[in-house]
Amino acid sequence: MVIFRWIRNQAHPLLFVLLLVSAVTQIFRYHFYQHSIYFGQALGAHRQIDQWKSDVKSYFNLRQVNQQLIGENTLLKQQLNWNLTYNSPKRDSAYQDDKTGNFVKYEYIQARVIRNSVQDQNNFIILDRGFKDGIKRHMSVVSPMGIVGVVVESAEHYSLVMSVLNSKFEITPYIFDLKTSQGVISWNGEDPTMVDLEEVNRFVKVKTGMKLFTSNYSLLFPAGIPIGTIVKSSSNLKSNFHRITVKLATDFGQLDVVTVIKNIHQKELDVLNQAIPADKEEDNDRDR
Amino acid sequence: MIEIARYIVSGLLLALVQTFILQEVNIAWWIKPMPYILLFLNIPVSVNKFGMLIGAFFFGMTIDALGGSMGMHTAACVSLVYFKYHIDAYFLDENSMQLQGLSTMHEDYKGWQWYYIYVFSLTFLHHLVFFTFDYFRWSAILTIIWISLTSSVASVFFVQIFRLLKGKR
């Protein structure tokens, strides 16, 4: 009888302890068997909710995704022309597209960005495709908006991309309005929307608003992919070169779906590239 | 009856906002606002204390199920409601509140300083329990206290925004 009375008096704290213990039990189960529960079937319902969550999230993104798709379509159309090599049966090293019968130079692999940074001095991106999907080093990565970077390492299911926002990334652009490929684009590590274009001859008439694309001299990127727009250029008599600031076409804060471009002749190009004697001399110079 | 339905709906809305928006938006690692405690602040102090405990348990379970944190929000909510009962006894006097026509803590009752002390202490208590289970090691005790404090400030901020959106009565 005393016990019953005690229970009745302490019912509120007791109920609290009971509920708390049941909550804590859940926490412990979750923490101890985090992996087995998560990847097992016990949380199938939870994964279903995750799926709904992801659906809702993608619904919010629809407008943006639509725009990206439109951009991507345009990019694909552009790619059609320069993608073709000769329709000659002798070029058996080229890849023949099953549907069109065309011999093409590039293969495209869609990937999703799962990790991305813009704050560091050397930024890298991780994609959810790896060498099992055919991704290898030195493949170029583009987004519907413009260039993104170059694959530097690939694991089984994931790959590491050196972003344009990396102090080691350099590329020579094609200045569309001047019909010339000049200078080197590199990032100074400050504003993630801007890059510097250096080594453009002072006598080249650079103006703001000029659009930059990848040039056909690039061994990694196909020609004609947007890099950005010139927003500032200045020159002085002391230097032979312009100082140019370029606004990147790609918004690195919003990367989602990207395309990894595989050059089917990359091996041949690599071999030829290594055979360039000038490079060797330079290397020797450096060694001395 | 309508009142209860209203609390259930607002609870669900808060749970959805918490799990689908606030939990997904990464403000900073040390700011994890959980303004859904507004629900407990909105429920009149005269409500049955057992019912509140059980309600808090299921509400916490809902958020855990949606957010995948399994038990953490439940433990925090149950603790919040249990200690709120005692904190209410300390802060609030039901008779004088009835005279003012108030059913919950309000700026008009004893002034805004007391209101914020009350809301902040409840929020901090809830966050402390949550982050204790989240980190769950002694070495992280300072981190737990720090993150509870900063997140509480953020939560109170969001609570005020929600109250403004709802319109002050």
Which tens digit of pLDDT belongs to each residue from A99-137? 555 666 777 788 888 888 887 778 889 888 888 888 988
Q: Residue A229: pLDDT above 80?
A: yes
- Cα B42 from chain centroid (whole Å): 9
Q: Flag whether residue B78 sits within 8 Å of chain A, measured between CB atoms.
A: yes
Q: What is the pLDDT of residue A75?
A: 63
Residue with tokens 């090599």: A85
Question: Is residue A16 included in any domain, yes or no?
Answer: no
**Residue % of chain A over a pLDDT of 90:** 13
- Verify whether the Cβ–Cβ distance A56 to B65 is below 8 Å: no
Cβ atoms A164, A204 nearer than 8 A = no
End-to-end CA distance of chain B: 21
- Verify whether the Cβ–Cβ distance A23 to B57 is below 8 Å: yes
Tokens of A211: 């659009």
Q: Which residues constitute the domain of residue A200?
A: 173-250
Q: What is the pLDDT of residue A101?
A: 59
- Distance, CA of A268 to CA of A262 (rounded, Å): 13
Higher-scoring residue by pLDDT: A174, B24: A174
Q: What is the pLDDT of residue A150?
A: 93
From the list A24, A46, A53, the residue facing B71 with the nearest CB is A24
Cβ atoms A254, A113 nearer than 8 A = no
Question: Is residue A265 included in any domain, yes or no?
Answer: no
Cβ atoms A159, A129 nearer than 8 A = yes
Provide the domain count of chain A: 1
Average pLDDT along chain A: 78
Q: Which ipTM value was assigned to this complex?
A: 0.84
Higher-scoring residue by pLDDT: B101, A77: B101
- Distance, CA of A93 to CA of A41 (rounded, Å): 48
Question: Is residue A179 included in any domain, yes or no?
Answer: yes
- Distance, CA of A206 to CA of B59 (rounded, Å): 63
Residue with tokens 């720090």: B146
Q: What is the pLDDT of residue A41?
A: 46
Question: Is residue A196 included in any domain, yes or no?
Answer: yes
pLDDT-derived band at A241 (thresholds 50, 70, 90) equals confident
**Chain B closest CA to A191's CA: distance in Å?**
20
Q: Residue A77: pLDDT above 60?
A: no
Q: What is the pLDDT of residue B79?
A: 94
Instruction: Please report, as a single letter, which amino acid is at residue A96.
Output: Q
Q: Could you write out the DSSP letters of every residue in B24-65?
A: TS-SBTTB---GGGHHHHHS-TTS-HHHHHHHHHHHHHHHHH
Write down the domain spans for chain B: 2-166
What are the pLDDT digits (tens) for A19-41? 988 888 887 776 554 344 444 44
Fold classified for B2-166? Arp2/3 complex 21 kDa subunit ARPC3 (1.10.1760)
Question: Is residue A229 included in any domain, yes or no?
Answer: yes
Higher-scoring residue by pLDDT: A237, A97: A237
Question: What string of pLDDT tens digits covers the 169 residues of chain B?
Answer: 788 888 889 889 899 988 888 887 777 788 889 989 988 888 888 888 899 899 999 999 999 888 878 888 999 999 999 999 888 888 887 777 777 777 777 777 778 888 899 899 999 999 999 988 887 777 788 989 999 999 999 999 999 888 888 775 4
Q: What is the pLDDT of residue A202?
A: 84
- Verify whether the Cβ–Cβ distance A15 to B71 is below 8 Å: no
**Chain B closest CA to A50's CA: distance in Å?**
8
State the number of CA atoms in the 13 A half-sphere of B126 facing the CB: 31
Q: Residue A86: pLDDT above 50?
A: no
Cβ atoms A128, A255 nearer than 8 A = no
What are the pLDDT digits (tens) for A264-279? 777 888 888 888 876 4
Q: Flag whether residue B92 sits within 8 Å of chain A, measured between CB atoms.
A: no
Cβ atoms B28, A6 nearer than 8 A = no
Cβ atoms B57, B65 nearer than 8 A = no
- Distance, CA of A182 to CA of A87 (rounded, Å): 32
CATH code at A221? 2.40.10.350
Tokens of B127: 């966050």
- Distance, CA of B56 to CA of B76 (rounded, Å): 9
Q: What is the pLDDT of residue A149?
A: 93
Tokens of A215: 């040039």
Backbone angles phi, psi at A253, to 5 degrees: -75, -15
DSSP E strands in chain A: the ranges are 95-96, 103-104, 106-116, 122-127, 140-142, 147-154, 159-166, 173-175, 180-181, 184-186, 194-198, 211-214, 226-234, 243-248, 257-263
Tell me, what DSSP letter sits at residue A199? -
Q: Flag whether residue B141 sits within 8 Å of chain A, measured between CB atoms.
A: no
Average pLDDT over residues A32-54: 57
Collapsing DSSP to helix, strand or coil, A206 comes out as coil
Question: Is residue A131 included in any domain, yes or no?
Answer: no
Q: What is the pLDDT of residue A228?
A: 93
From the list B19, B74, B85, the residue facing A23 with the nearest CB is B74
| Best CA proximity match to A246, nearest among A205, A211, A281 | A211
Which chain B residues contact residue A22 at CB under 8 A? 57, 74
